[in-house]
Structure 1
Amino acid sequence: MTLTNGPDIGDFHPVASLMSRATDPLLSASAAREVASSGVRGAVAAASSSFVADDPFASLRDRMNSAAGGAESETKKKLAPMPQDVAVIPDKDEDDPLTDEDWKRKAIKDVQHLRDIASIADLYIAMSNLEKRKARGHPEEYRITDPKEAAQAFADMADSAYRVMAGPPLVGLYSFSSGTVREFRRKMSKTELHLGFLAEIFTGFSFTKAATKQLDGILTNFIKSLGDISVSTEKTNNSVDQTIRIHQTIAMNITGDDERAIWVYQPRTRIIYMHVDGSTWKWATNKANHEESTFYMNYVVVDCDLNVNKWLGAKAQLEAIFKEVTSKTFADYGKMRYPSPIDSTTK
């Protein structure tokens, strides 16, 4: 299982083209000059006659401003939230020569890289969702307060979040693992739901009780923000779709020999693309229903390893484009958008 092709971004292709040139090591210098000399708006207007409005980025800016406020801000505006992001500082391998302090410093720095590039991914998701709606003759945002629109809103958001990793400019910055398709089906009570779900999604992670509590709080607040949304899944194969992005550093001894160890540190984003059964979703989000039920979903897991050198070579140009479209820097957007990293060593 591998990532499929990236999303269709239609009229926003000129923006994507400019971004893609920024990530091409042979053309990044010219892309930088283009950004500096004419600005993103001028480059886009020159590249496409479809950008003739006074503010062609208004709808994208509105969507990104809502996302920057977090899931609660989005749902208050009746919008499907952007993917939930979780950053993890893993426990250090006992054989790793880094000190605990250096390890945490490295992990936090990598998380920042991954979140900055996730901001670019969010911009692409906003473009993709707009194009999906336009293709259906529905240019306005789907409202999650309308049961007939809610499932489609979630499906578009999850699908775009998954596919965007495979399209330019991000595809040139990552290498991808072969994805795996998994199924989760377990009968449980409401009190078992959160920890059962977390144990499944975060298989392979080692968390202390305090870190697990912090993680549970993040996802609980996300689900809580969805409130009592009623979802009709007639047009989405009877599922409610969600995507989670998990950011972390992976430390590896690439020789496999303890006596001749060579350690490398890989920033990695794990994409989890979930299709939750419609009846399961209704049970899980219904505050009044405390009966035991079967939680059922299938999901895809793909690990995306960031090439830091390529990212740093393209970052300035990509941030210039991001700021032109959204009026925010990566730091401005990230401070509002992303929760603090979970330290898996927290006691």
Structure 2
Amino acid sequence: MPLSIFEVEHSTAPLASSRRRALLADPGFGRVFTDHMALAIWTRGHGWHGASVIARKPFILDPAAGVLHYAQEIFEGMKAYRGQHGTINLFRPEQNASRFNASARRMAMPEIPEEMFLDAVETLVSVDSDWVPEGEGSLYVRPFMFASEAFLGVRPADEFTFCVIASPAGAYFKGGNKAVSLWVSGRHNRAGPGGTGAAKCGGNYAASLAAQAEAYEHGCDQVVFLDAVENRWIDELGGMNLFFVFDDGRVITPPLNGTILPGITRASIIELLQGRGVDVAEEPYAIDQWQADACSGRLVEAFACGTAAAIADVGRVKGSDGEWSIGDGSGGNFAAAIRNEIIGIQRGLIAGPAGWVRQVVG
């Protein structure tokens, strides 16, 4: 790793190693955090400054901070994986940097140089490398940026705070790698044409929470959103993309039309499948067709994908118009094979396409 521009000030009170090991035994997802965070500030006319890695601590925000009133905020989700012989790997982090800046442009926020974004992530992961779990766990890394200027005028802010925090992670869904159930939201939409659906901003996730609560009420793990125009075409889940596998070997995934987040796991799956000659297409797929294909047996598998949960089989779908299962409802071999290949590449156990793995430690 090249010399970092992020000055490191190590925590004077890191968590005791015995306590850390106990937390890493069962970290869950998003509830345990490492000792440090990376931080930088952008101000109009001055650019980026104050790059540092410091002890993790709360922010001090003015009550008029722009993020609290106008939701100028974006984030990324990525992971660090412990590989063989003590190495620690990042999976395609340049793609996260690129998507972060695409989100920034949509939300009228400053872009951060890709090298600086990667430097922040790599320095934090290196400093907190003891927090990267062994075995099947990983270190979830959350870069984010928000408007920290105190003002109440409706305009892009003149000051932003960029930060990276990290959280050791176990399974995203309760019960581990089981087939998940989905609730079809007929009342709520995640995003519409011309909106912020393709940006990774907090508002999109806030818009999904009422529907997600509805999914829980109906005994489902996740919600699947339909398009906001016809309320018929499948978009994505609250935080994951979808793939469909047919009995003739063909695979489809909904197209990136401005309402769907361009997932990095999604793009990687497409590249891997195309590389082995699989007929994979990005095309619209209707909810009524999904039900018909599942009931006829033409659809043999469906799976969701994202950084947090990796790849999860979809076993059952439920909505106001009915309920159906895909296959026997337990998942299938196609998704399992892709999941094993992706995880193998991330951990350096399988040689993936050139440049997909960036080694931080080792």
- TM-score norm. by structure 1 comes to 0.25
Greater relative CO, 1 or 2 (CA 8 Å, sep 6+): 1
- Greater helix share, 1 or 2? 1
- Greater strand share, 1 or 2? 2
- TM-score norm. by structure 2 comes to 0.25
